[in-house]
Structure 1
């Protein structure tokens, strides 16, 4: 897998709010210039944390890698550990988008398999997913990094509530809906950490089929069978 070479040398101010229109899987998306800059910083931070360790990486290191001033880094992020949030958020948003395409007649695991075949990730997206998995693994022993990791999962949980409400045919503020959204998000977190440990630390090969089977089992167990399978018409 090839990482993108990101070596911007122009300092970007917080006031730069220009936007571009890009196409992602055929859909036009408005991209905020500041969000793009934060993502570039985040990719460098993830790489540095993985290669050097969190303690050995400074805000100055992240700024130098991104070609920005340290002052700009602190405008974009509250702490060095929070720099990982944009990359983690990409993975969470990608899942929510996939979940919103989930048809009633398929289980989530079957839908994920079909959707990933129809919408294969680019090299950059794969690199971001690998970076997110590495951060999930490292966060187990890094409390400050764990905070950033869990904050993104909290956003993912909120984004999943409408999906659960539609599947269960209940209002979004129903307690069962909220509990299931929390349970599914927690299940994904546990699966990510398990797969990350096995593939990154233990160098074990986990196939897509095995990962999807883990997800299917985790969601059904976490929701007591309420969610994960097809929905009757």
Structure 2
């Protein structure tokens, strides 16, 4: 999992903050990531307007201005085209946890980020995608797989925090709880409050508070 730092949208962001100094990513990789996000956004727009079933890979490729052959070189099926939007937000969450001070608990740390620029307006494309994933099983599978792929990364962070090992059962269960809280909090915000609340932070905090009741962090 490629951990990046979000510029906006916090745990639902898809934009990477440009670090000071030279960009550590090669130009080819940056172009590849930009193309993947363009494809993902086009896919969400078409899925929302036409429906997932009625949208083809050819439609997505045409919307981006690439050939179908190029599209399939990057993604194995049309539903997987949205994955970059989902993994970028998870990368932002993990990047935030990388800076979690040892002196404070998890919920306190997340609360301290409420005024951070990275927790501004969530990305509308991600919110649309989470709404679609509620009823479309193939998109839901992509969303759940993104979280499953993030699980060992979160376990590694908690292991360093506790001095344990990532394969320790306690660490793995704690990582699963944190991971699920982030997922459910994001879904709850997208489905119920995105139209009335400018930020997902309260929903994520509430989910993490509930999860942290049984966590030693």
Would you call these one fold, judging by a TM-score over 0.5? yes
Structure 1: tracts of 5 or more residues without a match: 1-21, 228-233
CA separation in 1, counterparts of 2:143 and 2:216? 27
Contact 1:109 1:215 in 2 (8 A): no
CA separation in 2, counterparts of 1:112 and 1:24? 22
Report the counterpart of residue 87 of structure 2 in structure 1: 89
Q: Judging changes above 3 Å, is the alpha-carbon distance between structure 1 residues 50 and 226 closer, same or farther for their aligned structure 2 residues? A: farther
CA separation in 2, counterparts of 1:163 and 1:104? 12
Q: Which has the higher contact order (CA 8 A, sep 6+)?
A: 2
Within the candidate set 212, 216, 228, 2:208 is matched to: 216
Runs of 4+ that moved beyond 4 A = 206-209
Q: Is 1:192 aligned to 2:192, yes or no?
A: no
Structure (1 or 2) with the greater strand fraction: 1
Report the counterpart of residue 59 of structure 2 in structure 1: 61
Q: Judging changes above 3 Å, is the alpha-carbon distance between structure 1 residues 218 and 39 closer, same or farther for their aligned structure 2 residues? A: same
Q: What TM-score, normalized to structure 2?
A: 0.80
Q: Is 1:30 aligned to 2:28, yes or no?
A: no
* CA positional deviation for 1:207: 5.3
Q: What is the root-mean-square deviation in Å for CA atoms of aligned residues?
A: 2.5
Contact 1:191 1:218 in 2 (8 A): no
CA separation in 2, counterparts of 1:215 and 1:43? 27
Q: What TM-score, normalized to structure 1?
A: 0.75
Structure 2: tracts of 5 or more residues without a match: 1-15
Report the counterpart of residue 139 of structure 2 in structure 1: 145
Within the candidate set 52, 77, 87, 2:50 is matched to: 52
Secondary structure at 2:118 match in 1: coil
Pairs aligned (count):
198
